[in-house]
A and B are shown apart, each in its own frame.
Chain A
């Protein structure tokens, strides 16, 4: 066993060394590659094709290196590692969290309608986009999911009467698919509407969402938040990536190890994971110059702009989803197994959440840090029309987004390795089962690296 452990230690050291060497290769591109690009017009020294293939190769190479960790005991020890953290008075913490959630919701609505109309001075805009969708979502996968406690609608609903129906029995469609459509709808609204510039509109949307959530909770009780509500589902899935989890007390685990469990129940839940990944990608895609050119050309031929965005969102989702199904099913053939294809599709999908988290942090960390001082200012004096302070990030910060995209993918490769070991008795079978998945991961990496390295332009025909 000691020998095996040493071998694994050596393999891990080799993995680190090659990853570092590979990142040194990407280094030159990083130095020039921008953020979710505030600085238009810069260029890469490395030709785009080489930069993208390097990113893809890092993912492929990390897959090969992960196959060097062949000690089952080591892999499952990492997976099963848990440590209970002592947290005094969790009940008080939860009550405080619920109060903060309610305070947040009332602030957003009140300040949205009554506060300053300048977006960077308005607390509603800053709380929703900076504090919640960037900050809280990041905390969900970097630390742990606090949304079930903070969720103001859940808190409100717990005090209201409910009919406690079963959503699967009442709704005529598949519940996870409904949730997926809801998520795509939220992405669409986020991109095409001026929600980030118009506080009054944002407050109205928040009120409308509250009406939907409270009616859902009236019908289905807690099951609305557990099964139907897309926002609660996003936070729960991001929380599966995180190192902290709640299971009879707060527990610490290795980041990503929550993704190796069988956490998705149906095909619809797999679709939701892919929709989350694609939505984050799409968010970046529509802000690139090639998209602007494409959109102008398509609208130039007479396609209405209002149709272009939702159609592209759905087509892209179907491409990502179809690509995932195709690759995982095709990959299963290499494994020579009697297991069901549907099981592979379900078990390997959570690894995509690590990738989605990587894209999200690449997309939003700079945004969050830039807006953080404005957020604090707006919360301290919600109705004041003072000057706005934002943080100016150093130039190299944008390059970090490439590192985050790659880090998400490396975690996903490791998760898939653990899942393969759990599914198959033969370790070679486990490796072979991941061929297809690795192929689609390489494609996803190259797509997102391409998007992240384009300069930012505002999406045309929106707002």
Chain B
């Protein structure tokens, strides 16, 4: 719990000193969870340490949640746009 909180504070810090680099390649990330995702997506998962695999699983779960929320927002936006256009066509035809 405390660890998670610490991580969360680190993520929001976006100063130049807060770069999170990948231990296996030369890529640098603005947030720790981006680096964790990168580890699982770009590198062979068998090569990762247990901690890295766990971090990837956490980051992946958080990403899925954020994506779900984003999907709801997109869907809402599409519905609103659909009705606005429906109304615009009804008025102008």
How far is the CB of B21 from the nearest CB of chain A, in Å?
Answer: 9
A336 touches B31 (CB 8 A): yes
Q: Which of A18, A67, A72 contacts B70 (CB 8 A)?
A: A67
Chain B residues closer than 8 Å to A53, beta-carbon distance: 85, 88
A428 touches B77 (CB 8 A): no
Distance, CA A327 to CA B19, complexed state (A): 25
Q: Which of A25, A64, A65 contacts B89 (CB 8 A)?
A: A25
Chain A residues closer than 8 Å to B78, beta-carbon distance: 18, 61, 64-65
Q: How large is the interface on B (under 10, 10 to 19, 20 to 34, 35 or more residues)?
A: 20 to 34
B77 touches A64 (CB 8 A): yes
Distance, CA A429 to CA B29, complexed state (A): 12
Overall SS of chain B's interface: helix
Chain A residues closer than 8 Å to B38, beta-carbon distance: 425
A47 located at the interface, meaning its Cβ lies under 8 Å from any Cβ of chain B in the complex: yes
Chain A residues closer than 8 Å to B93, beta-carbon distance: 28, 45-46
Distance, CA A56 to CA B43, complexed state (A): 39
B67 touches A336 (CB 8 A): no
Complex interface bits, A51-67 against B, C-beta within 8 A gives 1, otherwise 0: 00110010011001101
A residues 417-463 near B (Cβ < 8 Å) are 424-429, 431
A338 located at the interface, meaning its Cβ lies under 8 Å from any Cβ of chain B in the complex: yes
Known interface pairs A45-B93, A50-B88; A425-B34 also in contact (CB < 8 Å): yes
Distance, CA A264 to CA B49, complexed state (A): 36
* Residue count of chain A within 8 Å CB distance of chain B: 28
Known interface pairs A64-B78, A431-B70; A50-B92 also in contact (CB < 8 Å): yes
Known interface pairs A64-B78, A67-B70, A425-B42; A338-B28 also in contact (CB < 8 Å): yes
Chain B residues closer than 8 Å to A426, beta-carbon distance: 33-34, 37, 63
Complex interface bits, A248-292 against B, C-beta within 8 A gives 1, otherwise 0: 000000000000000000000000000000000000000000000
A70 located at the interface, meaning its Cβ lies under 8 Å from any Cβ of chain B in the complex: yes
Distance, CA A130 to CA B7, complexed state (A): 63
How far is the CB of B1 from the nearest CB of chain A, in Å?
Answer: 24
Known interface pairs A50-B92, A67-B71; A428-B63 also in contact (CB < 8 Å): yes
Chain A residues closer than 8 Å to B31, beta-carbon distance: 336
Chain B residues closer than 8 Å to A25, beta-carbon distance: 85, 89
B54 located at the interface, meaning its Cβ lies under 8 Å from any Cβ of chain A in the complex: no
Chain B residues closer than 8 Å to A321, beta-carbon distance: none
A143 located at the interface, meaning its Cβ lies under 8 Å from any Cβ of chain B in the complex: no
Q: Which of A50, A425, A431 contacts B41 (CB 8 A)?
A: A425
How far is the CB of A138 from the nearest CB of chain B, in Å?
Answer: 32
A337 touches B30 (CB 8 A): yes
Distance, CA A49 to CA B14, complexed state (A): 42
Distance, CA A140 to CA B85, complexed state (A): 37
Complex interface bits, B58-93 against A, C-beta within 8 A gives 1, otherwise 0: 000001001100110010011001000100110011
A68 located at the interface, meaning its Cβ lies under 8 Å from any Cβ of chain B in the complex: yes
How far is the CB of A21 from the nearest CB of chain B, in Å?
Answer: 8
Distance, CA A64 to CA B72, complexed state (A): 11
A427 touches B67 (CB 8 A): yes
Chain A residues closer than 8 Å to B35, beta-carbon distance: 425
A residues 1-51 near B (Cβ < 8 Å) are 18, 25, 28, 45-47, 50
Distance, CA A236 to CA B19, complexed state (A): 39
Closest-by-CB residue of A relative to B28 is A338
A429 touches B67 (CB 8 A): no
Distance, CA A18 to CA B28, complexed state (A): 39
How far is the CB of B87 from the nearest CB of chain A, in Å?
Answer: 11
A64 touches B74 (CB 8 A): yes
Distance, CA A304 to CA B30, complexed state (A): 54
Distance, CA A131 to CA B45, complexed state (A): 53
Chain B residues closer than 8 Å to A46, beta-carbon distance: 89, 92-93
Distance, CA A429 to CA B38, complexed state (A): 12
A429 touches B34 (CB 8 A): yes
Chain A residues closer than 8 Å to B88, beta-carbon distance: 50, 53
How far is the CB of B13 from the nearest CB of chain A, in Å?
Answer: 12
B89 touches A427 (CB 8 A): no
Chain B residues closer than 8 Å to A428, beta-carbon distance: 63, 66-67, 70
B74 touches A67 (CB 8 A): yes
How far is the CB of A37 from the nearest CB of chain B, in Å?
Answer: 23
10 more CB-based (< 8 A) A-B contacts, given A67-B74, A336-B34, A429-B34: A25-B85, A53-B85, A57-B85, A72-B41, A337-B29, A338-B29, A425-B34, A425-B38, A428-B63, A428-B67
10 nearest CB pairs, A to B: A425-B38, A425-B37, A64-B74, A338-B28, A336-B30, A425-B41, A426-B34, A426-B37, A425-B34, A428-B66
